[in-house]
Amino acid sequence: MAKNSSSPTTAPDTAWLGRGRHLGPEPEQDVRRNLIALKAAGVLDDFLDLDPVEAARSTALHPRDESADPGPAARRLFEARWRVADDVTVRAQLTTYDPEVRRKEGEGVTWVLAAEAERAWDAHWPSPATMFWPDSDRVDWDHDTAPGVRLRAANYLPKDDDELRHRLRDCTRNSWFIHVVVHEAMTPDAMGQKPVSAFLPPSLRHRVVEHRGTPDQAQIADFAMKRELSVRMPRGGAVVLPAVPPVPGYEADRLTVRSVFLDGSEPTELLDRIKEFAALPRPLPVDAERALTRLRQGWHLLTPDEELVHAQGMVARYAEALEAMTKSCDLYREAAEAAQAALAEVTGGAGVPRPADPGSARLDGSPLTALTKAFGRFRGPNK
């Protein structure tokens, strides 16, 4: 899976996309348990647990579309359907992947989640992540693919300057999430150590990674961010980091908050800046575009109405194929009759072979071959 490639396609406002890593021993089992529990509770309309190879072969809506194939590294494909705002249907696919290289201790299993609603996404809707993954700190599903950071946590910046710059590069180039750096003007108490992202609406909460700079990191973090990203980190403030490739409309000054009180109160100004950044049109990474295409063209969890439409579509396609075959047979018959007439004219009607039925004709019994042999009879020693 390419990590840093990009596409000019803009993410649609109906979609929710995420990519992370599960560091626990049984990621697929964690998903199954959560799906079963939510369906039993009536939160989900339905779900499917699919083998990726079989899913690609039996894609319901577009059976010949190669984009339905999640790739050879896929371990499992899950689909779920639920409703929000009473009548808005959401469809989502979660795929788990083996690491690109031989698994190392602690590397975990990569997951990709694509969800799409029937209208523009509302940040106050339930998070698609918690439809598949348990919303519990005891399940390690929420690690970013950028090493060393996770959702639902305050991730402290590395002390080493080189490691800090490397962290910034990874998070802005390889991650699908929104990254925010908050600087502690002084060491906060237990309430202030909780991530400020917890105040965000449910669907946005699991799209944001929060980084923390300690009081003594003010200068080194500000220098690294200025050098790597051309943004500044105010002492005791926060900034929403830019992404690579750049997000159209991003303004560092606009998305910088001069003061954030880490006392457990709601940081309204910072939350507003995060929401503002999340609303900007973002270019889709290539892998995200593929995941969204698979969701749209490789969907299996059909409603009864969708199954009826699908069956009608299959009947129409078979009818078109049968009509094309019939036309082909008619054309073959016309060609054979024309060759027969030409052969009869050349031979005077003597010894004219009857063309075989199109369905049983062999290559060496074609009208063209018969015509060639007939002309061969007229060849004399001087011709």
- Domain boundary at 278, 297, 316, which? 297
* Structural domain includes residue 252: yes
- pLDDT of 220 reads 93
Whether 290 and 318 map to the same domain: the answer is no
Q: Tell which residue, 35, 45, 46, 40, has the closest CA to residue 131.
A: 35
> Which of the two residues, 304 and 188, has the higher pLDDT score?
188
Whether the predicted pLDDT of 30 surpasses 80? yes
For residue 184, report the phi and psi dihedrals to the nearest 5 degrees: -85, 115
Segment 221-279, tens digit of pLDDT: 999 999 999 999 999 999 999 998 889 999 999 999 999 999 999 999 999 999 999 99
Whether 281 and 353 map to the same domain: the answer is no
- pLDDT of 55 reads 76
pLDDT band at 312, cuts 50/70/90? low
Whether the predicted pLDDT of 159 surpasses 90? yes
- pLDDT of 100 reads 66
Whether the predicted pLDDT of 74 surpasses 80? yes
Q: What's the domain range around 88?
A: 6-297
- pLDDT of 60 reads 60
Inter-CA distances, 209 with 11, 38, 195, 212, Å:
19, 26, 9, 10
State mean pLDDT over 279-292. 92
Whether 244 and 318 map to the same domain: the answer is no
* Structural domain includes residue 33: yes
pLDDT band at 2, cuts 50/70/90? very low
The DSSP bridge partners found for residue 88 are 84
- pLDDT of 99 reads 78
* Structural domain includes residue 381: no
Segment 102-117, tens digit of pLDDT: 445 567 999 999 999 9
- pLDDT of 101 reads 55
- pLDDT of 102 reads 47
* Structural domain includes residue 1: no
Whether 285 and 346 map to the same domain: the answer is no
pLDDT band at 336, cuts 50/70/90? confident
Whether 360 and 233 map to the same domain: the answer is no
Residues 6+ apart with CB under 8 A from 76: 28, 31, 49, 50, 51, 52, 95, 96
- Domain boundary at 297, 332, 360, which? 297
Whether the predicted pLDDT of 361 surpasses 60? no
Whether the predicted pLDDT of 318 surpasses 80? no
User: Which of the residue ranges 11-25, 124-138, 219-233, 341-355 would you say has the lowest mean pLDDT?
Assistant: 341-355
Structure tokens that stand for 115 in this block: 């969800």
Whether the predicted pLDDT of 66 surpasses 80? no
- pLDDT of 59 reads 65
- pLDDT of 268 reads 96
- pLDDT of 69 reads 77
Angle at 106 between CA 103 and CA 110, to 5 degrees: 65
Whether 200 and 220 map to the same domain: the answer is yes
* Structural domain includes residue 382: no
Whether 218 and 194 map to the same domain: the answer is yes
* Structural domain includes residue 129: yes
- pLDDT of 372 reads 56
**What is the pTM assigned to this prediction?**
0.78
State mean pLDDT over 148-160. 95
Whether 220 and 248 map to the same domain: the answer is yes
Q: Provide the number of structural domains found in the chain.
A: 2
* Structural domain includes residue 14: yes
Of the chain, the percentage scoring pLDDT greater than 90 comes to: 64
- pLDDT of 198 reads 93
* Structural domain includes residue 380: no
pLDDT band at 188, cuts 50/70/90? very high
Whether the predicted pLDDT of 58 surpasses 70? no
pLDDT band at 170, cuts 50/70/90? very high
Whether 203 and 335 map to the same domain: the answer is no
Whether 261 and 227 map to the same domain: the answer is yes
Strand order of the β-sheet with 15-22 is 44-50, 74-84, 88-97, 109-117, 15-22, 143-144
State mean pLDDT over 317-336. 78
Whether 347 and 275 map to the same domain: the answer is no
- pLDDT of 53 reads 83
Whether 49 and 195 map to the same domain: the answer is yes
Residues 6+ apart with CB under 8 A from 347: 374, 377
State mean pLDDT over 209-223. 95
> Which of the two residues, 107 and 206, has the higher pLDDT score?
206
State mean pLDDT over 154-179. 95
**What's the start-to-end Cα distance of the chain, in Å?**
67
